[in-house]
Structure 1
Amino acid sequence: MGLVFRKRKKIGPLILNFTENGYSSWSLKIGRWSWNSRSRAHRYDLPGPFSWKQDKSRS
């Protein structure tokens, strides 16, 4: 198993995601709801260790 570098930079509700190759994607998180630019998935945090995810397929 290899080592993976990840870094997140938060600027208010905007989150920038970086890997060893540089910029990866951005996310928007408002309260319990979040959206990721790469996966185009909506997530909603539920109580405990659970979350609900709705994927948006790319056309």
Structure 2
Amino acid sequence: MPILFRKAMRFGPLVLNFTPKGLSSWGLKIGKWSWNSKTRAHRYDLPGPFSWRSRGRRGGS
């Protein structure tokens, strides 16, 4: 199993995600709602270990 490097930096509601190659994506997190620039999916945290996620976009286009 390879070891992966990931780093997230938070600046208020803005979250920047980094890999060894540089910035991989950015997102917003406001309360229980969040959005990711790479998948363009919305996520809402539900009680307990559950969450709801929109499909966002699929593939590379």
Distance apart, 1:57 and its partner CA: 2.5
Gapped regions of structure 2 (runs ≥ 5): none
Identity %: 66
- Which is strand-richer, 1 or 2? 1
Q: CA RMSD in A?
A: 1.2
TM-score normalised to structure 2 length: 0.90
Q: Aligned letter for 1:4? A: L
Q: Give the whole-Å Cα distance in 2 for the aligned partners of 1:25 and 1:35.
A: 11
Q: Return structure 1 stretches of 4+ with deviation > 4 angstroms.
A: none
Gapped regions of structure 1 (runs ≥ 5): none
TM-score normalised to structure 1 length: 0.93
